[in-house]
Structure 1
Amino acid sequence: MELRQLRYFVTVAEELHFGRAAERLNIVQPAVSQQVARLERELGLQLLDRSSRHVRLTGDGERMLREARAVLAAADQASEVAADLASGRDGLFRIGAAPGLRDRLERGLSTLRARTPNLEVQISSASTAECLTALRSGELDVAFVRGEVAAADLQVVELWRDPLSVLLPMEYRCDDGVKLIDLAGLPLRLASDPWLRDELAAACRAAGFEPTIGRPADDLEAAIVEMSTGAPAWTVVYGTACEAAEGALWMGPFAPPMSAPGQLVTGDGHCLDELVAAFG
């Protein structure tokens, strides 16, 4: 599915006439018909009811029209921001970011500000799902998230990988790396992170056991206090830096090592190469 196909479909849907749509788009009518038909084949949906006398939206077409307009609006917004960045004009650059990315964001923004000194930046901490929704609606220009991202309507580039570290009672310490099977008897406490939850569940099953899920650990500091003073449990953090309770908990690597992809996500039309160069 391409932005061009969505744009052609939206124009036809608004005109309800292929000829008038072609005139608006300043292209020949067969090209419009071909691209809309290709979009329907790729989606497996009939979006338009065609006859010799009229063109009408189907029920699927009406719903798809709303989504297509949202995607195009987000793409147009991203293009405007990219144009401002490329030309050096002042503007607001809105970033969605997972927690713990301060160093990467500071390095990247320093690079961008070298070219656009008065660039105004607004950073929001949000989950991956929230970032994707905001990108599609045009509320964000770019997002930096962890985990795999499936979003055919957005540009996704893996910029880095974060090691996954295990945080657990000191008696389970293993400097050579903790094996998952050795944690089978401990409850697993995780933040509300769907990718990390699914990744660990799959890894535990591959190691031969079903993890026992404990209470959520959305507030890591509170979870550390609870784990160091209460019932034994384990959790997983991104990276290798974490303030563990001295003497009670230990943080270290898995054996074999595990890691999470760090992704740059933006709308189509953004200056992707420049963003990769700045934040990579």
Structure 2
Amino acid sequence: MADRVETRELEYFVAVAEELHFGRAAGRLGIAQPPLSRAVRRLERRLGVTLLDRGPRGVALTAPGEVLLREARRALESVDAAVRLTRREGAARRGLVLVLKPGGDGGLLPAILAAYEACPEAVPVEVLMRGIGDRVRALRDGSADVALLHAPYEDLAGLDTEELMTEGQVAVVPRGHRLAAREYAAMADLDGEPLFDRAVDGAPEAGHLMQLVALGRTVVLAPESVRDHLRRDLVCVPVPDAPPVTVVLAWPERSTSPTLAGFVRTATEIAGLYGKSEV
């Protein structure tokens, strides 16, 4: 127990490792430089490794320092998440925070909210719009209680989920595209197209992505409910042999919040009324 590293020590080290300058790190932390230097030295002695090379040209991370920076960031993020989740659990009766991307509800959300608000135990629901990747992050860092996500495109590890509906996919193309007038297209028809790949191209904001489609820079496969939110210069072409997309309700696993349970129950019931499969 005596060798356990304190959160404050990790914060100090991360600041120095990111700034690679003790003076800037001290300013960022709001402390004087000498105690910061001593704290990092104590951390190195405790761990038995050199974390930073201190030379005339400045500060550089050693190999052990690279490892600690990566793991310390994760540890500090987990601590922050634990605080947020604990506070949200204590405030659960006062409201729920639901996060989704624009148009990411498959058309279900208005009916879900209306049904939930009619429940005697209902609490206010704050709806946040976030981009690709930010929704899962909001669940994990405790800034949201529940999210509408899309499988298989998002990482659901560490989350409990309930499937709400399954949709086919469409190719989103500019109006002048060679496939724009087609009644439908096959995946083979997209060979040679600059097809957007989330794994390679990252997670741009939805408006940015659709602008790239309009400019002819990419073609996007998206759930067919995207039709309801599409800009006028774009066209949706059904792709029947594309893998389906499932809209799921997700929340941190092992949640014990009765408020969250009530919302999930209502959402599941509404999805059942609409039919889980819309393919």
Q: Give the whole-Å Cα distance in 1 for the aligned partners of 2:5 and 2:177.
A: 63
> Paired residue for 1:270?
257
Contact kept? 1:147, 1:261, Cα under 8 Å: yes
* CA deviation string 1:35-62 (max 9, x = no partner): xxxxxxxxxxxxxxxxxxxxxxxx89x9
Amino acid corresponding to residue 115 of structure 1 in structure 2: C
Q: Give the whole-Å Cα distance in 2 for the aligned partners of 1:219 and 1:165.
A: 18
Amino acid corresponding to residue 234 of structure 1 in structure 2: V
SS of corresponding position for 1:115: coil
Q: Give the whole-Å Cα distance in 2 for the aligned partners of 1:196 and 1:99.
A: 22
> Paired residue for 1:98?
101
- TM-score w.r.t. the length of structure 2 is 0.53
Contact kept? 2:224, 2:238, Cα under 8 Å: no
Q: Give the whole-Å Cα distance in 1 for the aligned partners of 2:205 and 2:89.
A: 39
Give the alignment partner of residue 76 of structure 1, picking from 75, 86, 109.
Answer: 86
> Paired residue for 1:47?
none
Q: Summarize the alignment of residues 117-128 of structure 1 with structure 2, pairs less than 5 Å apart.
A: 119-128=123-132
Alpha-carbon deviation of 1:81? Answer: 5.2
Q: Give the whole-Å Cα distance in 2 for the aligned partners of 1:100 and 1:220.
A: 14
Q: Give the whole-Å Cα distance in 1 for the aligned partners of 2:209 and 2:88.
A: 34
Distance 1:219 1:72, change over 3 A: closer
Amino acid corresponding to residue 186 of structure 2 in structure 1: K
Distance 1:163 1:69, change over 3 A: same
SS of corresponding position for 2:103: coil
Q: Give the whole-Å Cα distance in 2 for the aligned partners of 1:222 and 1:160.
A: 28
Structure 1: 5+ residue stretches without partners: 1-11, 15-58, 85-90, 199-214
Amino acid corresponding to residue 76 of structure 1 in structure 2: T
Q: Does residue 129 in structure 1 map to residue 133 in structure 2? A: yes
Give the alignment partner of residue 155 of structure 1, picking from 153, 157, 160.
Answer: 160
SS of corresponding position for 2:118: helix
> Paired residue for 2:239?
254
Distance 1:131 1:77, change over 3 A: farther
Distance 1:78 1:244, change over 3 A: closer
Distance 1:275 1:256, change over 3 A: same
- TM-score w.r.t. the length of structure 1 is 0.52
Amino acid corresponding to residue 222 of structure 2 in structure 1: V
> Paired residue for 2:116?
112
Q: Summarize the alignment of residues 29-108 of structure 1 with structure 2, pairs less than 5 Å apart.
A: 63=72, 66=76, 69-70=79-80, 72-73=82-83, 75-77=85-87, 79-80=89-90, 84=93, 91-101=94-104, 103-108=107-112
SS of corresponding position for 1:150: coil
> Paired residue for 1:165?
170
Q: Does residue 182 in structure 1 map to residue 189 in structure 2? A: yes
Cα RMSD after superposing both structures: 4.1
Structure 2: 5+ residue stretches without partners: 7-67, 269-279
Alpha-carbon deviation of 1:270? Answer: 3.4
Q: Give the whole-Å Cα distance in 2 for the aligned partners of 1:262 and 1:183.
A: 24
Distance 1:123 1:218, change over 3 A: same
Contact kept? 1:164, 1:259, Cα under 8 Å: yes
Q: Does residue 139 in structure 1 map to residue 143 in structure 2? A: yes
Amino acid corresponding to residue 110 of structure 2 in structure 1: E
SS of corresponding position for 2:185: coil
Q: Give the whole-Å Cα distance in 2 for the aligned partners of 1:266 and 1:196.
A: 26
Alpha-carbon deviation of 1:261? Answer: 1.8
Q: Give the whole-Å Cα distance in 2 for the aligned partners of 1:161 and 1:196.
A: 25
